Chain A
Amino acid sequence: MNNKNKLTFHLDVSDFLPAAEEEKQSLAVMRESVSFWRDGLRRFKRNKLAMASFVVIILVLLFAFVGPAVYPYSYEQQIRGSENLAPLEYSAQELARIESGESVFPHFLGTDGHGRDTMVRLMMGSRISLLVGIIASALILVIGSLYGTIAGYFGGRVDMVMMRIVDIIYTVPDILIIILLMVTLKYPMKNLAENVPGFEWINTIGVGLICIFIVFSLLYWVGMARIVRSQILTVKEQEYVTAARALGASHSRIIRKHLLTNVMGTLIVTTTLQIPSAIFTESFLSFLGIGVAAPMPSLGSMAAIAIDGIYTYPYRLLAPAVMISLIILSFNLLGDGLRDAFDPKLKN
């Protein structure tokens, strides 16, 4: 039977016999099926550098958000007589208190010209930087992905008009407009916080911070919108989208359930890489003196103050400089790791 002519219509009866038990078993899927997320996560966990930077980020988050709560000094507290201390140095008063049996918490990184403890200011500065990075990126994510999805999904004339607007904003020199906007926004925001009821919360967060959030999300969403649009353009041609449309799904359902879930990997990676660039820009603004307002410290403004006394206290620059570089470096590495893990094109 085996060497029969392949072109005949004679059927092989053995092909139609019920499968034996062992044959069935050999076809059973023993391994659990791996979802997109689990697969990405597994690859991410194997990347040592990315995992290390993830741990560093967790540590920095603890340092910035839990640190000030348990630290005995506060960031605006000026300790008279303890000005300009070197790291781990005690002032005469504090030495006297130690003599008399009191325990005095050491200034690990010394104090600044106003007698404020540098360590706790570093914690608060990191907190501001992280807040700026994370919240600004979240805002950019929301605006950019919505805009990009709508442009990509509807296509045609809608897409053309929307992307022309993006092109124009893209060519606007960002640093110039950021500096102008920061200076401009400060006054109306202050006015809003002080005179209009219902906006008092602005003062608790800080006018400078709110301005930074607004300015960043006004300017930087365009990059996100471009990336999301190009992704949506490919995803929307897939069969499952056609199927959903044939079943009568509404536009918003298709966007929410099918398109956005499928570009999620790109969204996460782009947002993670947006965080360090927002932190970079914030430190730059604070360094120029138009970022977060005193007495709230920011890593950039701490560095700026340190530069004024660079000849006498060069070590003061070290802490904020190292901290900024560490935060930006670990977010960059984390973003690279996520991209390697979740971008299907880089799988092998």
Chain B
Amino acid sequence: MGKYVAKRVLTSILTIWLVATITFLLMYLVPGGPFLAEKAPSAATLEALNKRFGLDQPKIVQYKNYMLNLLKGEMGESIKQRGRMVEDIIFSGFKVSARLGGMAILVAVFIGVPLGCIAAFNRGKWLDNLILFLSTLGIAIPGFVVSTVLMVIFSVKLDLLPTYGLTSFAHYIMPVSALAFYPTAYISRLMRSSMLEVLGQDYIRTARSKGLPQFKMIFKHALRNAILPVVTYLGPLLAYTLTGSVVVEKIFTIPGLGNEFISSIINRDYTMIMGTTIFLATLLIIMNMLVDIAYKIIDPRIKFK
């Protein structure tokens, strides 16, 4: 176990370094700079600005400086939102995105898992077909379509829910449902197929034949084994809700991390691009690692390689 974790941590650090280096390279391959959008700055201003952010030095030196600062936990000052540190911007954006994403994941798990179970227990009946149909449809509809359709129905036609901002509970309903739509459908499909597989196992027949109550059989034997694929999916799901929220944040004008990332690329805000990419990559890699370790705790049969 210790050896496995050490190996995973090492590969993760390597991956994060790789992502940081790729981002650095890509960033400077894009023509244009962060100061071009401003009203024709004079040569002296430009020089002063470049000097202030260390952009006048050779790329190799910039790379070295950035990496050294990163090791100290400093991501520098945002080039566009001057005076604000990248860490602070990321943190305030992440608070919003994480709350939204966390709610969406909870909704997806608490609706998707029961739906999948219900479908599996009623295999071949109309309820199963209905759930299967809905979840297949749910996988096929992109997030931006869901968001806008919700918006047209509940804001434009019925005028029930607000279209932008995040100030009250009502504001959360639409973005959270839009974000939770795809994962709910996916989880219910996953849950259905894995539950069907588990229900065919010998230990379920044993449990049934020894007269275990249905309730106990489901929760103690079936669910615990059938939920494993869903746990594995939670890692990528986090990736989806945190990065996929780019679209939802844009449509509902939410000041989250996804929005910051897109605008930092468009503005060539170098420090912000680096900061958000490294932050998100690190987060996702840690989450994937935690999921793998949680897997082992749920199912002791799985051995670490």
Interface residues of A (CB under 8 A from B): 164, 167-168, 171-177, 179-181, 183-184, 187-188, 276, 280, 283-284, 287-288, 300, 303-304, 306-307, 310-311, 314, 317, 321, 324-326, 328-329, 332-333
Contact = CB atoms under 8 A, between A and B. Distances in A.
Contacts of B239: 173-175
Contact of A314 (B12, B136, B141, B156): B156
Contacts of A173: 19, 239, 243, 277, 280-281, 284
Contact of B148 (A168, A179, A276, A303): A303
A328 B280 CA distance: 28
B247 interface: yes
Given A172-B15, A176-B277, 9 more contacts: A171-B11, A173-B243, A176-B281, A180-B273, A280-B142, A288-B250, A317-B149, A326-B140, A332-B139
B-side interface size class? 35 or more
B142 A283 contact: yes
Interface in B138-159: 139-145, 148-149, 151-152, 156
B30 interface: yes
Nearest to B151: A310
B interface SS class: helix
A interface SS class: helix
Q: Which 7 A-B pairs have the closest CB atoms?
A: A329-B140, A175-B243, A328-B140, A321-B145, A184-B26, A325-B141, A314-B152
B251 A171 contact: no
Contacts of B194: none
A171 B137 contact: no
Contact of B284 (A171, A280, A310): A171
Contact of A171 (B15, B143, B246, B276): B15
B30 A183 contact: yes
Contact of B246 (A172, A174, A175, A304): A175
A104 to B, nearest CB: 31
A276 B243 contact: no
Contacts of B250: 288
Given A187-B31, A317-B148, A324 B265 contact: no
